[in-house]
Amino acid sequence: MTAPPRLAAPRRNRPGLLAQFVLQWFWLPVWAAVALALGLLVALASAGFNPPLAWLNPWRAVLTWPRFRLEWAGDPARWDAYATERIRARIADAERRPAAHRAHGADGAAVLAVTVPARLFRGVGPDRAAAVAEGWTAEVRGTGRDRWSPGALSLRRPLPQPGR
């Protein structure tokens, strides 16, 4: 018996979506000040504290106008086009710059690794996102919260051996 496909996340409620879009413009200056203070603290203290670069990336939480419209409409066909374009762009970047996406597989062999955050495939689900990445091994990672939901899609493919 095969497992049922993992479907797209439920559509986000419109008041919450609108609140995120409006309030982010007030939140961004606060984030910039905190990031600057954290950067200065790390530079001046030299205490060996190295925050993850993701802390300094505002695009993780910013809801752009195109994505706001996409989530507001909730149209599965538009979500499919959006997710396909974003996943293929990340794969193309990994193939164009293999040194930046190099990792080691479970057996120690070199692999190309791409991580696709759930915000890019929320409307189509992890199974459709994995299907877009044909030729890559896909693993859905959870968020680590009490109620499981996809946090990211991890894509891996063996690196071609030099001289072959």
Output b/e per residue, 121-154; b: 16+ Cβ within 10 A. bbbbbbbbbbebbeebebebeeeeeeeeebbbbb
pLDDT tens string for the chain (164 positions)?
A: 444 455 566 678 899 999 999 999 998 888 888 878 877 777 777 656 666 666 667 777 788 899 899 989 888 899 999 999 999 999 999 999 988 888 887 777 888 889 888 888 888 888 888 899 888 988 888 766 655 556 788 899 888 666 55
Under 8 Å between Cβ of 5 and 127? yes
Token pair for residue 116? 């696709």
Question: Which of these, 9, 2, 5, 1, lies nearest to 120 by C-alpha position?
Answer: 9
Q: Where are the domains of the chain?
A: 12-73, 76-164
Token pair for residue 15? 């008041």
Which pLDDT score is estimated for 163?
55
Count of other CB atoms within 10 angstroms of residue 8: 21
